[in-house]
Amino acid sequence: MARIKVINEISELVAIFHSCDTKVKRDVFEEVTKDWVTLEQIKEKYGKKGEEALKYLEKIKLVETQWLTTPKGPVKAYHTYYTHIQINMTIPILESGDIIYASTMSEKALKEYERKIIEMIEGNPAGIFIGDIVKELGISQTLAKGIIKRSAKLEMRGHNVVVREDA
């Protein structure tokens, strides 16, 4: 059965664009589309990059999880939740430029933004208000959200940005 993820928030496009942007991510997505797979199976087949890809897919909520009973005990398994997307939004042209930039910036630039944001969050387990990040870095809120959606280390919780526990 095909499930459709409806995209209403422009920054979600960045995450979708990066869900299959490498061969490993694409292959992992294909694996979880076919059947329920465990993290161990992915690590065995694709290594560390496969593990990172699966965690990213989980972060952006493109996979669902369930516990499988095995002879070794319960194991968390992953499967594709969505197979299609529907984009349903109207955006200002200036914001579309920010999303394109967040989607196409180099990994080096992304890591630099991540580093700066993580430094701002340090010592505050509740995270930092996105408005403070925007002000401190001198970027738009749309660009900041795009960076956070693309990052495997950061996530939004309400209006705060936190470092992911499994990052």
CA torsion, ordered 158, 149, 103, 65, to nearest 10 deg: -140
Q: What is the pLDDT of residues 97-119, one digit of tens each?
A: 999 999 999 999 999 999 999 99
Give the closest residue to 46 by CA, choosing from 60, 65, 32. Answer: 32
Q: Which fold has domain 91-163?
A: Arc Repressor Mutant, subunit A (1.10.10)
Q: Considering the domain delimited by 4-86, tell me its CATH architecture.
A: Orthogonal Bundle (1.10)
Tell me the pTM.
0.84
pLDDT of residue 72: 85
Q: What is the pLDDT of residues 33-66, one digit of tens each?
A: 999 999 999 999 999 999 999 999 999 999 999 9
Record the tokens describing residue 133, joined without a space: 């990040």
Same fold, 4-86 and 91-163: yes
Boundaries of every domain in the chain? 4-86, 91-163
